[in-house]
C-alpha cells in the first residue's frame, strides 16, 4: 500500500465536484450532477482506508492521531463557512431561515447534518433552496462512517480476522441494503449511512489491494476510459426523479473505482486527469463544495428567486470559486500541517470559533430569528403562512379512530350528510365546500390524511408511510358503507404528483410509482393506468352504496413557497410580480383531467369539477390585493378557498349536475 501522491485522484475529485456545482446552479444539462457526491465517497473511502491500513500494518495507528487529522481536515474550513453564513444571513434571510441556519450549524459541527435534514424532510418541509448548510449532510455521513470504520479495522487486527475478507464479503450485502432502502425508505436511504456505506467500503476494498492488479497496459487504459464514460454519462442520464441512491449510484461509483484501480502514471486517462487546471480544481474541491451551496442559497434569498437567472448563478459560482481558493490556501492548507498550526494553537482557534458559533446560534434561536429586522409589510406577507383552516388539525384523528373521532362542521343540529376525502389539499379546500350549495345548510366532515391521495387499491412506491395510507383508505370505505345518512362524497387532492410521480422532497427519491393488484412492473404509463383504475373503482364502489361522488380537480400549483418568496422580495428590496406558468400547469394536469372527465361521463351520480384554471387567469398572479393566495408552495389559504374558490366551485358543480339531468 503506497501513500505516494496520485495526481489523478485530484483530477477525479474535479470530475466529482464540477457536476455537483453545475447541477446545483443549473448551469449545465447535468440532471444527475448530484452523483458527484457518490464519487467523493469512493475517493474518501480509498484515501482514508489507505492511511489507516498502512498505519495498522506498520503498527503505528492511534485513534487520537486519526481523529486529529480528521479535525484538521474538516473543521477549520467548515467553521469558516458557518461564520461567514452568520455574517451574511441577518441582512438577507428571514427569521425561519436564520433559525434553520442556527440548528443546522450545530448539527454540522457534531457531524449530524444528515440526521437533522432528514428530520426536516416531509410533505410540508421548508424549501431546501434557502438552507445554506444543506450540503453538509454528506459530511455527516462520512464522519459517522469514520467513527465506526477504524474501530472495526482495529478489532479485526487484534482478533487476527483478515481485513480483506471482511471488506470483500461485506460489499455486496451492503449494496443490497442500499438498494432495498432506496425502494422502501427513500429519504432515509438518501441521508443515512447504511445506504452509503457500500460506497465508502468500495474505496476501502481498493485501498486493501483485494482486487487483482491489471497488468496489461491496453486493458488498463480501456478500463480507465470505461470508468470515465460511466461517471460522465451518469451525470446526464440520471435525474432526481430516479429512485436514489440505489442502483443509480452504481455507475459513477464503479467508474471511480475503475480509474482508481487501473490508472497508471503516463497513461492516457491518468495524464488527462493530471492536467494542472484539473488538478487545481481537485485541490480546492472540499472548499468549493463547502462554499458553492451557501453562495447559491444567499443569492436566492437576496433575489427572492428559487431559480436564479443564468447570470445570477454564474455570479454565485464565481464568488464561491474565489472564496474556495482563499479558503484552501489560507485555511485548509495551513491547518492540515502541524508545523504551521500546532496542536495548542489549533485548540485555541477552534475553541474560540466554536464559542462564537454557539453564541450566535443561541442568540438567534432565543430571539426567534431576530424578527425586529422585519418591516410591517414583510410581517403581513409572512402572516399568510398561518392563514390555514384551523379544522385541519382537529380533523386529523379519523385515520386512527374512524367516525368515533371525526370532526364535523356546518349545521350542528343535523347528522353529517357529506364528507370530504383526500390529502392535505382536501384539508385546504374544506372551507370552500362549507360555503356552497348544496352543502351550506348541511353538516359535513373531513376525512383526510396528509400525502395520502384517496386512491383505494393503489399504493405509492416507494413510500415510508405506505401502511398508514393503505389503512386510512380501507377505513374510509368501511365507514362509508356503514353510514347511509352520508349522501355525498367529495374527493379532492393533489392529483398531479400522484399521476406523474414527481413529489417534492428534501433528498431521497423524487420519483414514485403507483401499483395495484394488476401491476406487473413499475413504470410511468402503468402509474397512469393504475390511477385511472383506482378512480373508476372509487366511483363504482361509492355509487353502489347509493351515494353521489364529486371529484374535484387539482389546484394550480406555484411550486414555490409564496409567502416566503414575497416576504424575501420585500425584505431585500427585490420584489417582483409572481405568476404561475399556465401552460406548464395545464400540461401537467392534462392526463388527470382526461381521466376524471372519462369516469364522470361513464358513471351515474358521478361529477367532476375542474378548478385548476381559476388561479391561472389574469396572468396567474399569486396575490389578490397584495395578499398571497397560497400559504406555502401548493396549498391555498383559508381566505382564498372561502372567497375565491367557493363561488367558482358552486357555479361549476351546478352546471355539471344540470348537464347530467339534461
Q: What is the tens place of the pLDDT at every residue in 370-402?
A: 999 999 999 999 999 999 998 877 777 788 888
Would you call the peptide bond into 316 cis, given omega within 30 degrees of 0 as the criterion? no
Cα separation, 180 vs 176, whole angstroms: 6
Predicted local confidence at residue 205, as pLDDT: 97
Q: Give the cell for residue 526.
A: 402503468
What mean pLDDT, rounded, does the chain reach?
93
Average the pLDDT over 50-58 and give the result.
Answer: 95
Cα separation, 557 vs 102, whole angstroms: 30
Question: Which position has the grid cell 364522470?
Answer: 600
Is the pLDDT reported for residue 601 higher than 90? yes
Average the pLDDT over 545-556 and give the result.
Answer: 96
Predicted local confidence at residue 506, as pLDDT: 47
- Specify the range with the lowest mean pLDDT, choosing from 9-23, 119-133, 180-194: 119-133
- Specify the range with the lowest mean pLDDT, choosing from 203-207, 259-263, 359-363, 434-438: 434-438
The share of the chain scoring above pLDDT 90, in percent, equals: 79
Predicted local confidence at residue 505, as pLDDT: 53
Dihedral pair phi/psi, residue 341, rounded to 5°: -130, 110
Residue 634, CA distances (Å) to 420, 495, 592, 620, 630 in order: 19, 12, 17, 14, 6
Is the pLDDT reported for residue 183 higher than 80? yes
| pTM (2 d.p.) | 0.91
Predicted local confidence at residue 650, as pLDDT: 96
For helices 7-25 and 36-57, the axis angle rounded to 10 degrees is 150
Decide: helix, strand or coil at residue 458. Answer: coil
Q: Give every CB contact of residue 494 below 8 A, 6+ residues apart in sequence.
A: 423, 424, 425, 453, 554, 555, 557, 634
Is the pLDDT reported for residue 504 higher than 80? no
Q: Give every CB contact of residue 569 below 8 A, 6+ residues apart in sequence.
A: 304, 575, 576
Q: Which residue has the higher pLDDT, 585 or 270?
A: 270
Class of 385-661 in CATH: alpha beta
Is the pLDDT reported for residue 212 higher than 50? yes
CB 320 within 8 A of CB 291: yes
Q: Give the cell for residue 605.
A: 351520480
CB 421 within 8 A of CB 474: no
Question: Which position has the grid cell 468500495?
Answer: 202
**Which string of b and e fits 465-503 if b means at least 16 CB within 10 Å?**
beeebbebbebbbebbeebeebbbbbbbbbbbbbbbbbb
Location of each CATH 3.40.50.1110 domain in the chain: 385-661
Cα separation, 536 vs 56, whole angstroms: 65
Cα separation, 591 vs 24, whole angstroms: 30
Q: How far is CA 345 from the centre of its chain?
A: 39
Dihedral pair phi/psi, residue 487, rounded to 5°: -105, -20
For helices 197-207 and 163-184, the axis angle rounded to 10 degrees is 160
Which residue stretches of 246-397 are H helix? 250-262, 268-273, 276-283, 285-303, 310-327, 333-336, 343-366, 376-383, 391-394
CB 281 within 8 A of CB 288: yes
For 50-164, strand residue ranges (E) read: none
Predicted local confidence at residue 460, as pLDDT: 85
Residue 143, CA distances (Å) to 53, 67, 321, 429 in order: 18, 10, 25, 45
Predicted local confidence at residue 337, as pLDDT: 87
Predicted local confidence at residue 29, as pLDDT: 83
Dihedral pair phi/psi, residue 375, rounded to 5°: -80, 165
**Which string of b and e fits 52-73 if b means at least 16 CB within 10 Å?**
bbebbeeeebeeeebeeebebe
- How many Cβ atoms are within 10 Å of 212's Cβ, its own excluded? 7
Q: What is the DSSP letter of 244?
A: T
Amino acid at each position: 500500500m503506497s501513500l505516494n501522491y496520485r495526481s489523478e485522484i485530484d483530477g477525479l475529485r474535479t470530475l466529482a465536484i464540477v457536476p455537483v456545482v453545475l447541477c446545483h446552479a443549473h448551469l449545465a444539462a447535468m440532471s444527475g450532477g448530484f452523483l458527484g457526491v457518490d464519487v467523493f465517497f469512493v475517493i474518501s473511502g480509498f484515501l482514508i482506508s489507505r492511511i489507516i491500513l498502512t498505519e495498522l500494518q506498520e503498527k503505528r495507528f492511534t485513534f487520537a492521531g486519526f481523529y486529529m487529522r480528521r479535525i484538521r481536515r474538516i473543521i477549520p474550513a467548515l467553521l469558516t463557512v458557518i461564520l461567514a453564513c452568520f455574517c451574511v444571513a441577518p441582512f438577507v434571510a428571514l427569521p425561519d431561515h436564520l433559525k434553520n441556519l442556527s440548528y443546522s450549524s450545530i448539527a454540522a459541527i457534531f457531524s449530524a447534518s444528515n440526521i437533522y435534514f432528514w428530520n426536516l424532510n416531509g410533505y410540508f418541509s421548508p424549501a431546501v433552496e434557502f438552507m445554506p448548510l444543506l450540503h453538509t449532510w454528506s459530511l455527516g455521513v462520512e464522519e459517522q462512517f469514520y467513527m465506526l470504520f477504524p474501530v472495526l479495522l482495529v478489532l479485526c487486527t487484534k482478533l487476527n480476522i483478515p481485513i480483506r475478507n471482511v471488506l470483500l464479503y461485506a460489499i455486496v450485502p451492503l449494496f443490497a441494503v442500499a438498494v432495498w432502502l432506496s425502494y422502501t425508505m427513500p429519504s432515509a436511504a438518501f441521508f443515512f449511512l447504511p445506504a452509503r456505506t457500500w460506497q465508502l467500503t468500495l474505496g476501502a476494498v481498493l485501498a486493501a489491494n483485494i482486487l487483482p492488479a491489471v497488468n496489461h497496459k491496453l486493458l488498463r487504459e480501456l478500463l480507465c476510459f470505461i470508468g470515465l464514460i460511466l461517471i460522465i454519462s451518469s451525470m446526464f442520464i440520471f435525474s432526481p426523479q430516479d429512485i436514489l441512491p440505489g442502483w443509480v449510484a452504481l455507475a459513477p461509483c464503479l467508474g471511480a473505482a475503475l480509474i482508481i484501480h487501473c490508472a497508471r502514471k503516463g497513461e492516457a486517462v491518468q495524464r488527462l486527469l493530471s492536467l494542472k487546471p484539473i488538478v487545481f480544481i481537485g485541490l480546492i474541491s472540499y472548499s468549493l463544495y463547502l462554499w458553492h451551496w451557501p453562495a447559491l442559497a444567499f443569492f436566492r434569498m437576496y433575489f427572492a428567486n428559487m431559480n436564479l437567472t443564468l447570470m445570477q448563478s454564474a455570479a454565485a459560482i464565481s464568488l464561491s470559486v474565489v472564496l474556495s481558493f482563499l479558503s484552501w490556501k489560507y485555511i485548509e492548507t495551513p491547518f492540515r500541517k502541524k508545523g504551521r498550526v500546532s496542536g495548542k494553537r489549533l485548540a485555541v482557534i477552534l475553541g474560540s470559533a466554536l464559542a462564537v458559533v454557539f453564541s450566535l446560534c443561541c442568540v438567534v434561536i432565543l430571539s426567534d430569528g431576530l424578527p425586529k429586522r422585519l418591516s410591517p409589510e414583510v410581517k403581513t406577507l409572512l402572516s399568510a403562512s398561518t392563514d390555514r383552516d384551523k379544522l385541519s388539525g382537529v380533523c386529523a384523528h379519523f385515520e386512527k379512530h374512524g367516525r368515533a373521532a371525526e370532526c364535523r362542521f356546518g349545521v350542528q343540529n343535523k347528522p353529517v350528510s357529506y364528507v370530504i376525502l383526500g390529502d392535505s389539499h382536501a384539508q385546504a379546500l374544506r372551507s370552500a365546500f362549507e360555503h356552497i350549495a348544496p352543502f351550506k345548510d348541511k353538516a359535513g366532515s373531513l376525512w383526510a390524511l396528509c400525502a395520502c391521495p384517496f386512491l383505494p387499491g393503489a399504493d405509492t412506491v416507494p413510500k415510508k408511510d405506505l401502511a398508514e395510507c393503505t389503512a386510512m383508505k380501507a377505513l374510509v370505505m368501511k365507514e362509508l358503507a356503514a353510514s347511509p345518512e352520508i349522501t355525498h362524497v367529495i374527493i379532492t387532492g393533489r392529483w398531479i404528483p400522484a399521476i406523474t410521480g414527481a413529489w417534492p422532497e428534501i433528498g431521497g427519491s423524487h420519483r414514485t410509482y403507483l401499483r395495484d393488484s394488476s401491476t406487473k412492473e413499475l413504470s410511468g404509463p402503468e402509474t397512469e393506468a393504475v390511477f385511472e383504475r383506482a378512480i373508476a373503482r372509487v366511483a363504482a364502489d361509492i355509487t353502489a352504496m347509493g351515494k353521489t361522488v364529486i371529484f374535484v380537480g387539482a389546484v394550480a400549483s406555484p411550486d414555490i413557497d409564496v409567502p416566503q418568496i414575497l416576504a424575501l422580495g420585500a425584505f431585500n428590496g427585490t420584489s417582483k410580480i409572481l405568476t404561475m406558468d399556465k401552460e406548464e400547469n395545464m400540461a401537467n394536469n392534462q392526463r388527470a383531467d382526461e381521466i376524471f372527465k372519462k369516469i364522470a361521463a361513464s358513471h351515474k351520480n358521478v361529477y367532476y369539477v375542474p378548478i385548476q384554471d381559476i388561479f391561472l387567469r389574469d396572468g396567474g398572479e399569486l396575490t389578490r390585493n397584495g395578499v398571497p393566495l397560497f400559504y406555502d408552495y401548493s396549498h391555498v389559504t383559508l381566505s382564498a378557498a372561502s372567497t375565491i374558490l367557493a363561488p367558482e366551485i358552486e357555479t361549476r358543480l351546478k352546471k355539471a349536475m344540470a348537464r347530467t339531468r339534461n
